[in-house]
Structure 1
Amino acid sequence: MSQHYPNTPGSKGGGASKDAAKKVVTRAAKLRIAILELMLKGYRLTADEIAAQLRESILAIRPRVSELVTKGDLIKLKDRRKNVSGMTAHVIRHKDSLTAVDLPLPSIAKPRRSAPQAMHSDQNALFG
């Protein structure tokens, strides 16, 4: 692991792993901020659920959540839920969010018309 972990992405060795960790430093910082902003709202989510809310890859979010748990910014709860792989994962909360908040229900968008309505009810009449 990097001597700067969890403040910067770590690697388990040298070579490609170390190069990859260096490459994602800026993006990782932005993802950590996005995770903290989301979790400060009081949500209780797994890492995979956080990824879904942020519309990010679980492969980008899981390590950031681990970093934030290691730093103490996020706290693992005893509750667990199934994740994408079918295994169970800890539910996480922000250290300062003592009251749980449910995610808002997704709004159902009304279908929009992309083209004007046909002028004739029988289009074959146009070509007949």
Structure 2
Amino acid sequence: MHLEHVNLVVTDIDAMLKFYRAAFPHWRIRDQGRGEWYGKPCNWLHFGDDYHYLVLSDHGEGSNRDLTGHSVGLAHFAYVTSNLAAVIKRLEQAGFSIDSPGAEEPFRKNAYFLDPAGFEVEFVEYLSDIPAERNLNRAKLEEVL
């Protein structure tokens, strides 16, 4: 079992594509069209590869939840990369900056970006292929030592 897609309701599909094209240069628009969501017309598209994609629908209103607050909702989602530095470079060249650097961990590096709709996206590079090490955080590591 694996996650196939995430459906993000946004106000500006083109701005979202700029961000996600920089992060995933091998992805493509798989499908697109027009529809209706509970009485409101919308454009939508599927952006991804053959196995995973994001649905972007442009019928959003208002702003995303305050990520510094405690409201119920999506906090962030993450993608694993084999080259975090390259992802950061592509996003920065496209005009996006790191929103929050990840904590210093011995077996992974990560960085958080905000996409144009205000969703926080984590990119993580693991420095070990041993699951027990990959999943350790600094506090747990100090307990073990």
> Normalised by the size of structure 2, how large is the TM-score?
0.24
- Which entry has the higher C-alpha Rg, 1 or 2? 1
